[in-house]
Amino acid sequence: MALTVADVHRIAQLARIEIDAAAAAQVHGKLLAIFAMINELQAVDTRGIVPMAHAQDVMLPLRDDAVTEIDQHALYQSVAPAVEDGLYLVPRVVE
């Protein structure tokens, strides 16, 4: 991608950043170096490489999926204003 100093000034204007000519030239040089590194990375053949979520083979410790609390739904529904067949009844809101 060809980037000019005029492009840097336009980007700075869009971002509402005040930039002088010397700073624009410096930023232009840094952006060109970044684009060169991106082009180097894109040149690498990655076919056959499986995408990874992490650089190391890391697994989070998982706990057993076990029930640790007793069923108290009858207790919770005993204080509800209206219950029918194990469901909470609520007043109609939409006509």
Q: What is the pLDDT of residues 1-52, one digit of tens each?
A: 589 999 999 999 999 999 999 999 999 999 999 999 999 999 999 899 888 8
Domain hosting residue 16, numbered range: 5-42
Q: How far apart are CA 27 and CA 35, in angstroms?
A: 12
What pLDDT score does 81 carry?
Answer: 92
The verdict on residue 81 lying in a domain is no
For the whole prediction, is pTM greater than 0.85? no
The verdict on residue 20 lying in a domain is yes
Q: Please report, as a single letter, which amino acid is at residue 30.
A: K
| 66-74 long-range contacts, CB within 8 A, separation 24+ | none
The verdict on residue 25 lying in a domain is yes
The verdict on residue 14 lying in a domain is yes
The verdict on residue 30 lying in a domain is yes
Residues 43-90 have pLDDT tens digits of: 999 899 888 888 888 888 888 999 999 999 999 999 999 999 989 999
The verdict on residue 27 lying in a domain is yes
State how many domains the chain has: 1
The verdict on residue 23 lying in a domain is yes
